[in-house]
Amino acid sequence: MPNNGIAVRKKYLVLDSEGIDLRTDSPLRHTRTTPLARYNIHGALMLTDAQISQFDHDGFLNGGRILNDQQIEALKDELDELLARGPDSFAENDPRPVLFHNMTREHDAEKCVWQIVNIWEVCDSYKALTHHPFIVDAISRLTQAKELMVWHDQIQHKPAGYGGVTGWHQDAPLWPIIKPMTPVSAWVALDDALEENGCMWMVPGSHKWGNQIEFLRTQSELKEVREFGGIEGFEPPDKAEVTTVTPRPWPVKAGEVSFHHSLTWHGSPYNLSDMPRRAIAIHYMTGESRYVASGKHVMQEFVHIDDDELMRNAGAHFPLVYQDGEAVSV
């Protein structure tokens, strides 16, 4: 059976670079589920200049729908199976995610955000998603980079009824082992992420205000959706393009991809609704990213280069997904 170089290990969705579903037991095997190669499901080839300008102004952008219903279900099934197995189910030599835990446990015992870092190393369908041609092409346009690697991914699943908070933060200051602070992330919703079930909130223009992580840590009391936008006590720089702090809920429908700059202020409140909020963020690095050995990060143990070397040589945990203006297939 041809598999275009992809190891077909799972019964769930596995797409090759043409968007062909490669599951051995799939009724869709060798049929084109959707023209994933380069296009989103509405046939858009790439982000428009207007979208790129919008991203540059706001620091975030909805790139539109990239997954069809079957693909969303397959990704959710595979995630649900992993959640049902739980973090302690991996045998010593099994591939395992880098992190798999309730990330709120220490500060909020009643609430839960399941954080799974590098699900792509365990599930082929998520691996295919990190190489999604529309996503990597869009990230390349937003960063103007000709080369992209996966920095890491993370599921943030907020269960219905007791989904926890992801406090206001910027990503780049939490990633002190790479520089410069320019990466862009793709955030793909698997359920509709709405205000009620803890969608992300964003602050337009904040990606041009520098590193403000210490200020954002002072906002940790903002947890419920009715209070989440109440950021107080920050004056944006006078000469900035945007000079007011105007937090905005940022709903993303299931199957859509949203992009955010790594200095954009964002976070998400409790999910106290009866709808789960499953989503994955894929954080990408550009070819210019270098290693900062003095920092600390959960991915550090997988970096096999010296201080200040290019992260493109860091090893197999940071795969190349875009090179010379082309998506690299899985």
Q: Is 178 in the site for ligand AKG (CB under 6 A)?
A: no
Q: What's the angle, vertex CA 22, arms to CA 18 and CA 27, rounded to 5? A: 115
Q: How far apart are CA 173 and CA 211, in angstroms?
A: 7
Q: Is 171 in the site for ligand AKG (CB under 6 A)?
A: yes
Pair of tokens at residue 27: 């009724």
Q: How far apart are CA 252 and CA 62, in angstroms?
A: 7
Q: Smallest gap, in angstroms, from Cβ of residue 233 to ligand AKG?
A: 21
Site mask for ligand AKG (CB under 6 A), range 198-237, x = bound: --x-------------------------------------
- Considering only residues 129 through 168, tell me which ones interact with ligand AKG, judged by CB under 6 A: 156, 166
- Other beta carbons within 10 angstroms of residue 75's beta carbon come to 26
> DSSP 3-state assignment of 216?
helix
Select from 22, 128, 275, 279 the one that contacts ligand AKG (CB under 6 A).
279
Applying CB under 6 A, what is the total number of residues that bind ligand AKG?
Answer: 10
Q: How far apart are CA 147 and CA 32, in angstroms?
A: 28
Nearest alpha carbon to residue 272 among 218, 215, 224: 224
Select from 187, 228, 291, 318 the one that contacts ligand AKG (CB under 6 A).
187
The DSSP letter of residue 190 is S
Pair of tokens at residue 121: 């190393």
Q: How far apart are CA 77 and CA 71, in angstroms?
A: 10
245/279 with CB nearer ligand AKG: 279
34/166 with CB nearer ligand AKG: 166
156/286 with CB nearer ligand AKG: 156
47/281 with CB nearer ligand AKG: 281
- Residues of this chain that interact with ligand AKG (CB under 6 A) are 156, 166, 171, 185, 187, 200, 266, 268, 279, 281
